[in-house]
Structure 1
Amino acid sequence: MARIEARLAQMGLLLPKPLQTPPNVRLPFAWVRVRGRRAFISGHIPLEPDGGIAKPLGKVGAEITPEQGYQAAGLVALAHLASLKRELGDLDRVTAWLRVFAMVNVAPEFNEMPRVTNGYSDLILELYGQEAGTHARSSIGMMIPLNAPVNCEAEVEIDGG
């Protein structure tokens, strides 16, 4: 078993199946686009292992606590890893996490988006270590499709495979 997948198994974490697209939702894009030594990962929302949208849904700071938002961001990281696995075949091909852009569904007065997004960053750093896992990041508040609490996109460097 590959190193990153073995680490996920040790942590008791499962990579989710692809998003079960809601009826009447059309998504004409690639979840992962590889160009040269970079992989661009489209925005993902938190998923259950079966590919269903993870609950709870809603705005952080209203229906969802910052701790629940943190957990949701970790689920987004797992969804990104699952899409990378499907595209690359091996998560160990990721040599560096370059950038994460996090969008947090927030109540009007909530301004702790970085605290929520740490759920994503902490998991990536735990899996890949400081050298490969450290990334640039933005974390902003906005309305999110499907009322998901978090939506992230990312860019990684990969080996020549």
Structure 2
Amino acid sequence: MMGTAHVTEITAKYVEAVAKVALMAAGWTVHTAETNEVYDILATDPLTGDAKKVQVKTIRQRQDRGDDLVVYAKKGNGTIYDRSEADYIIGVWAADGEIPRVFMFENRLLGEYWASEARAADRWVELPIALDRSVFAKAADAS
């Protein structure tokens, strides 16, 4: 049987990999740091060419809160991410046995971000994980 720390680490690596796939499918260029950084992903916006720092978190569904989705956006020491540490937050909702859903939103300097399942796609930008090559053509046309 796996220990809890191992399961937590595997889940964190999994949601980060899913976030990278979603960013790439949306036309972003994803960079890998050789050193440990506060942010999880450094990605280049396909429209502006600007590098953005992205923090990835697992979305939890709170049954005690009417099944609302919540992203806990705090560092290990309990403090929030400031803008020098994360421009965007990506939440990955990875329910057991389901295809993950990926939501991206600006870091508004909050410790928690909430949405009902019905409103999540309205409040946050949902990034598909399916590849759409037309996104790359649109980005090339914009430059």
| TM-score relative to the length of structure 2 | 0.28
Q: Higher relative contact order at CA 8 Å, sep ≥6: structure 1 or structure 2?
A: 1
User: TM-score of the superposition, structure 1-length normalised?
Assistant: 0.26
* Larger relative strand fraction: 2
